[in-house]
């Protein structure tokens, strides 16, 4: 049985995405989260469609609960995510928006949200998932179609967040960042363009939704390349699938729980090689297997996280700990 916890051993933030409803109703889940993690990401309560009920009308209740929970438990809060094509509320999408009106509303939203939590939320995913696989512009029907230069709009969103809270760290967040060279190139180009044009960016969030079948060499090479940006690097949504073939007669310990532990250890050890100036933290996307988004997103018999359904530490927990 391990004695030291992840947050005690790590010299950077060890976070998890949590749901406010579970913190309220599942004491074991809340206890495991408090005992092992020192940073909180809202799995969905701080997304646009959760906060923004109509123009100038917000539902702050769940986000406030999470910020207060974090403060009560000496945790930092990572805000996720201000601008994400998948989280625009229907009422906003249905407005016939020219780009000027669209941007004006988004600017107000960013200012209202970041301003409310000024000094409380220490970092934000300002923009999430704007590139397609291989790095082209994502084919979504909300943001990009309105702008002939979407990257400039994204840069202005970073500026709006900075204006609302100059002390919060501002991240661009995406998935497949270290295994998709084309996407990583686009991200690096956007970051360097932001710097050239004076838009504020502090870091890159690499989600790290991988599996026991993801090659570690590929992850390492991509991570080294990403680190060459000299930006803060946040492994922002780490989970490691083990039911990689989506088989229906699969259980946690019949599968490669040991291999999962090896992958977690390798990823954490790789993160440790970052220069101190680039270390921000590692967040898992969830606390325990039973509440993982992958049970619906991937397969009901998926066990991607550090704790099992009974909040026991898995081999993966030990692997993560060994990597620190």
Q: Which residues form the interface with ligand XIL (CB under 6 A)?
A: 43-44, 81, 128, 207, 237, 293
Nearest Cα neighbor of 85 from 54, 114, 120, 47 is 47
Q: What distance in Å separates the CA atoms of residue 252 and residue 24, rounded to the nearest whole number?
A: 27
Q: What distance in Å separates the CA atoms of residue 16 and residue 38, rounded to the nearest whole number?
A: 8
Nearer to ligand XIL, 23 or 324 (CB): 23
CB 274 within 8 A of CB 233: yes
CB of 128 to ligand XIL, least distance (A): 5
Place of tokens 């550090």: 306
Q: What distance in Å separates the CA atoms of residue 183 and residue 130, rounded to the nearest whole number?
A: 10
103 part of the active site: no
CB of 207 to ligand XIL, least distance (A): 6
CB of 63 to ligand XIL, least distance (A): 14
CB of 70 to ligand XIL, least distance (A): 18
88: CB partners within 8 A, 6+ apart: 48, 49, 142
Indicate which residue of 43, 45, 76, 237 is catalytic. Answer: 237
Nearer to ligand XIL, 81 or 242 (CB): 81
8 part of the active site: no
Beta bridge partners of 241: 211
Nearer to ligand XIL, 106 or 315 (CB): 106
Nearest Cα neighbor of 288 from 305, 302, 300 is 305
Nearer to ligand XIL, 250 or 293 (CB): 293
Indicate which residue of 103, 129, 265, 302 is catalytic. Answer: 129
* Catalytically active residues, by annotation: 129, 237
């Amino acid at each position: 049985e391990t004695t030291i916890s992840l947050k005690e051993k790590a010299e950077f933030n060890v976070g998890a995405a949590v749901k406010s409803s579970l913190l309220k109703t599942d004491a074991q889940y809340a206890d495991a989260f408090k005992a092992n993690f020192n940073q909180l990401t809202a799995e969905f309560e701080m997304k646009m469609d959760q906060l923004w009920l109509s123009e100038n009308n917000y539902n702050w209740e769940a986000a406030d609960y999470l910020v207060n929970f974090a403060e009560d438990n000496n945790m930092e809060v990572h805000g996720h995510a201000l601008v994400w094509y998948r989280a625009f509320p229907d009422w906003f999408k249905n407005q016939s928006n020219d780009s000027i009106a669209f941007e004006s509303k988004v600017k107000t939203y960013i200012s209202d949200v970041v301003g409310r939590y000024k000094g409380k939320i220490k970092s934000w995913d300002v923009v999430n998932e704007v590139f397609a696989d291989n790095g082209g512009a994502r084919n979504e029907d909300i943001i990009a179609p309105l702008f002939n230069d979407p990257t400039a709009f994204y840069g202005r969103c970073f500026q709006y967040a900075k204006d609302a809270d100059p002390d919060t760290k501002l991240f661009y967040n995406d998935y497949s960042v270290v295994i998709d060279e084309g996407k990583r190139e686009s991200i690096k180009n956007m970051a360097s363009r932001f710097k050239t044009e004076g838009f504020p960016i502090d870091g890159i969030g690499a989600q790290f939704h991988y599996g026991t079948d993801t090659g570690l060499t590929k992850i390492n090479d991509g991570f080294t390349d990403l680190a060459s940006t000299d930006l803060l690097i946040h492994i922002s949504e780490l989970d490691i699938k083990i039911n990689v073939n989506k088989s229906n007669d699969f259980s946690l310990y019949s599968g490669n729980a040991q291999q999962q532990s090896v992958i977690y250890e390798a990823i954490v050890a790789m993160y440790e090689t970052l220069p101190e100036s680039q270390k921000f933290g590692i967040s898992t996307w969830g606390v325990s297997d039973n509440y993982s988004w992958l049970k619906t997103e991937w397969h009901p018999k998926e066990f991607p996280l550090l704790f099992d359904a009974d909040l026991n530490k898995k081999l993966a927990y030990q692997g993560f700990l060994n990597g620190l």
